[in-house]
Amino acid sequence: MDIEQAQTLWQPEPGWLNTASYGLPPEPAWTALQAALADWRVGRTSWESWDGATQRSRAAFARLIGVPVADVTIGATASQLLAPVAAALPAGATVVVPEVEFTSNLFPWLAQEPRGVHVRTVPLDKLADSVDADTDLVAFSLVQSSDGTVAAYEEIVAAARAHGALVAVDATQACGWLPFDGTRADVVVVGAYKWLMAPRGASFAYLAPALRDRLRPDAANWYAGVDPHTSYYGPPLRLAEDARRFDISPAWFSYVGAAPALELVAEIGLSAIHAHDVALANRFLVGLGRPPGDSAIVTVEVPGAQERLERAGVRAAVRAGRVRASFHVYSTEADVDLALDALTS
């Protein structure tokens, strides 16, 4: 399916340039969710039919980042999925994080400071050079929420490996438009409600097998059982041997909407989405006299920008005092030109 064919599956109002805040559902996801809600309203079906979407979503996510499905756990938020990793750090461990990191990939590490974990923040462009023999874990967003900067993934991973440090990546602002190899990291967490265009409440994590052996499943529950259907009552503890041991019981309807959305992203192809998104972002930048970049998220400083965009019906965001525009598969050149007209008139 090419981009032009895919765009018929969305119905955005003109001027939506804010996927970095939340993505818009494609028609298959919207339809599946409405059907599930209708069944829920009248008690027409059992929950098992909804739960099938959880397993489809897990498998689709694994394909998108190139990892084994057995290494993927599901949850509700990125920070919740990082929590067992943070809790497993030994007292005295050092975590290196970018200075302007989104707090879902910062607070879990800072919360461990009372027991002796040290968090050191450095400029993002100095992150690889800041990894040293005292570093136990490097945590960073693959794409920065504040301004769309794409991290030097391979360079940072190489520096971490050279010093025996773990790598924890928040790919929430990347997964869905930026192709990358998830197996290069030890942990990859993704909130699926942005570029994967799922309902909020569906999140995924890749947990490398060697790392999982260090983690304790503090949120152990029936859904993390080796067989959830025989894990409803009573001891002994009987958790899955793979990454499912870290699952939490899913918000059913979030995954009902997630499965078709993730499968559609895979059908269109990340390479095609990446080319489309970055081309539109660069059309926007060049139209404002800025040099082109490599991200689907861009930030600009234009006097009165927020008010100008609002008057034109363009929905973007303001982050760190700058207008942030983000472009995805359903975005068009007309959306870009609407924003440019507002900002340059």
Collect all residues with Cβ–Cβ distance below 8 Å to 296 and sequence separation of at least 6.
Answer: 19, 143, 148, 177, 178, 195, 274, 277, 278, 280, 281, 326, 327, 328
Evaluate if residue 305 carries a pLDDT over 90. no
Q: What is the pLDDT of residues 180-193, one digit of tens each?
A: 999 999 999 999 99
Q: pLDDT tens digit string along 235-248?
A: 999 999 999 999 99
In this structure, what DSSP letter does residue 28 have?
A: H
Per-residue model confidence (pLDDT) at position 345: 82
Between strands 137-141 and 166-170, the pairing is parallel
pLDDT for position 306? 85
pTM of this structure: 0.94
Residues of the chain above pLDDT 70, percent: 99
Digit-coded pLDDT (tens) for 21-77: 999 999 999 999 999 999 999 999 999 999 999 999 999 999 999 999 999 999 999
**Pairing outcome for strands 317-319 and 322-326:** antiparallel
List domains and CATH numbers for the chain. Answer: 3-26+269-344 (3.90.1150.10), 47-266 (3.40.640.10)
Average pLDDT, the chain: 96
pLDDT of 128 > 90? The answer is yes
pLDDT tops 80 at residue 320: no
pLDDT of residue 27: 98
- So what's the pLDDT on residue 40? 96
